[in-house]
């Protein structure tokens, strides 16, 4: 049973940037081109995270609006109540799932990276971050840090989309059950 609802529990990705899981296969990024490509991938991933969060926000509003409008009257009769409770439960689950999509996923901080916001915030002050960033840039490993960040951002995005899909299905079920209930109570 716990495995059935495991997708509802937030999980932290196991690592943030600043850690190299394997030895670097490429020479240092001396001209910055690899870093720019990795940053471009990061920008695309962040766009999709924002898009997914926006869709989830729309389904939060839609679930509340659908429940408020379509389920205004408590019905008489067993069949009408079955539709009512099925719709209310489905819209409630859709609301919870959409909320889980927009809740931030916080990977653990390595304390060594210079592109993940959590690692940046762990610096003692702006000078410490400047020095950390300068060392990473001078050694040509910013692209590597972006690659790690991109990997975990993609994992978070995949999970958000999977939860959003389930939320959409529950939303549609709730609305499809609420429409007949609403029409019967007109």
Query: Going residue by residue through the chain (186 aa), what tens digit of pLDDT does each one get?
Result: 455 555 555 454 444 445 444 555 667 777 888 888 888 999 999 999 999 999 999 999 999 999 888 888 888 888 888 888 999 999 999 999 999 999 877 666 676 788 888 888 888 999 999 999 888 888 888 888 888 889 888 998 999 999 999 999 999 999 998 888 778 777
CB 9 within 8 A of CB 102: no
| Cα gap 74→161, rounded to integer Å | 34
pTM for the full model? Answer: 0.76
């Amino acid at each position: 049973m716990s495995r059935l609802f495991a997708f509802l529990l937030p999980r932290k990705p196991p690592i943030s940037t600043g850690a190299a899981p394997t030895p670097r296969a490429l020479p240092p990024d001396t001209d910055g081109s690899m870093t720019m490509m990795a940053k471009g991938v990061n920008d695309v991933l962040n766009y999709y995270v924002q898009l997914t969060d926006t869709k989830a926000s729309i389904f939060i509003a839609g679930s509340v609006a659908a429940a408020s409008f379509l389920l205004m009257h408590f019905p008489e009769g067993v069949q009408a109540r079955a539709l009512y409770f099925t719709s209310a439960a489905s819209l409630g689950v859709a609301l919870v799932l959409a909320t889980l999509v927009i809740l931030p996923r916080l990977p653990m901080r390595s304390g060594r990276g210079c592109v993940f916001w959590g690692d940046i915030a762990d610096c003692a002050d702006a000078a410490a971050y400047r020095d950390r960033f300068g060392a990473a840039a001078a050694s040509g490993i910013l692209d590597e840090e972006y690659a790690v960040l991109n990997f975990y951002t993609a994992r978070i995005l995949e999970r958000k989309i999977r939860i959003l899909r389930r939320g959409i299905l529950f939303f549609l079920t709730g609305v499809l059950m609420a429409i007949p209930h609403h029409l019967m109570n007109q």
